[in-house]
Amino acid sequence: MEKEFKSGFVTLIGRTNVGKSTLINLLVGEKVAAIANKVQTTRTAIRGIVNTENLQIIFIDTPGIHKPKHKLNETMVETSFAMIPDADVVLFVIEATSNEIGRGDKIILDKIKESNLKTILLINKIDLVKREKLLNLIDVYRKEYDFTAVIPISANQKKYRKIILEEIEKNLKPGPAYYNIEEYTDQTMRQLAEETIREKALKLLKDEVPHGIFIEVEKMKLRKNKNLEEIYDIEATIYCLRESHKGIIIGKNGEMLKRIGKLARVEMEQNFGIKVNLKTWVKVKQDWLDNDTIVNKFKLK
């Protein structure tokens, strides 16, 4: 008897820096979300798609829950909570290093309780704690909600991918394929380019600079070079909050901007499977974190 096709939407939610982006890239098997060892790396809901012969899972990685300080932060938190009610399954990601349910996790848990959805608790970074502490944390959370499953994981280890996908599949209903089976994200190439540049900046820049930047790809054109090889001409602007930040991003003799551009270009060529000619500029836009026109770009579509 042929296995029935299942599909569904799975929302990942958790505090900032708990490893959601690393996890969605692991589950999808492709780079769909920016990863950096900094808080608030993800700014909007990002969809990653897993396809098998009898299954399609659409993962939605959301911005980390945090206390808003600007309109952008408010939009990020609103986006995260808005993705819960429409999910078929929720993946609630927490850190194994926690001793109790902190304020941020409590707010998320309350939203999950309101929705009463099937929720899988993923306890990440288990390599950092002893077994006894992990078991105590599991007990604390099990008393708060009837989780469909509790899975301790390390999001950077491939062996957990199959375990998580199998648990999700058990909790999905028969349904259609919502996306082409060859797609792994609904982001456009322009969005992927912007995220790639921002990720490299996040990794290379000093702590006070990265979260005051946003990237805008202003030109993306496909052409053939003199050897008749296809190449993407991409022009992007890195916007920052202060003149002093602009100097840091550019660096002495332009070296920092060159490093950001080179790392971004190499990854784009790997992901797009085509040569890339990337040009970047840096401009100051002091009020952008509270600028409605810009912040609206990060709102849930």
Q: What is the pLDDT of residue 261?
A: 95
SS3 content of the chain, % helix, strand, coil (to 5): 40, 25, 35
* Tens digit of each residue's pLDDT, the chain (301 residues): 567 899 998 988 888 788 888 888 889 887 665 544 444 444 445 678 888 888 999 888 776 544 444 444 555 545 555 666 778 999 999 999 988 898 889 988 998 898 888 999 999 999 999 999 999 999 999 999 999 999 999 988 999 999 999 999 999 999 988 877 777 676 678 888 888 898 888 888 866 565 678 888 888 888 888 888 889 899 999 988 888 889 989 999 999 999 999 999 999 898 888 899 999 999 888 776 666 665 555 544 4
Residues 280, 257: Cα–Cα separation, whole Å? 8
Q: What is the pLDDT of residue 82?
A: 62
Contact (Cβ atoms closer than 8 angstroms) between residue 200 and residue 115:
no
AA letter at 12? L
The burial class, CB within 10 Å (0-12 / 13-18 / 19+), for 287 is exposed
Looking at beta carbons, which pairs linking 147-152 to residues 24 or more positions away fall under 8 Å? 147/92, 147/119, 147/120, 147/121, 148/89, 148/118, 148/119, 148/120, 149/120, 149/121, 150/120, 150/121, 150/123, 151/120, 151/121, 151/122, 151/123, 152/96, 152/123, 152/126
Contact (Cβ atoms closer than 8 angstroms) between residue 141 and residue 130:
no
Q: Are strands 214-224 and 230-240 parallel, antiparallel or unpaired?
A: antiparallel
Residue with tokens 């551009």: 261
Alpha helices in the chain (DSSP H): 20-28, 71-82, 103-115, 131-142, 159-170, 189-204, 243-250, 255-272, 292-295
Residue with tokens 């648990």: 167
What SS3 class is residue 58? strand
Chain centroid, CA 214 distance in Å = 15
DSSP result, 152-214: E--TT-THHHHHHHHHHHHTPPB----S-TT-SB---HHHHHHHHHHHHHHHHS-TTSGGG-E
Residue with tokens 């790997």: 270
Q: Which of 295, 285, 30 is nearest to 183 (CA)?
A: 30
**The pTM of the whole model exceeds 0.85:** no
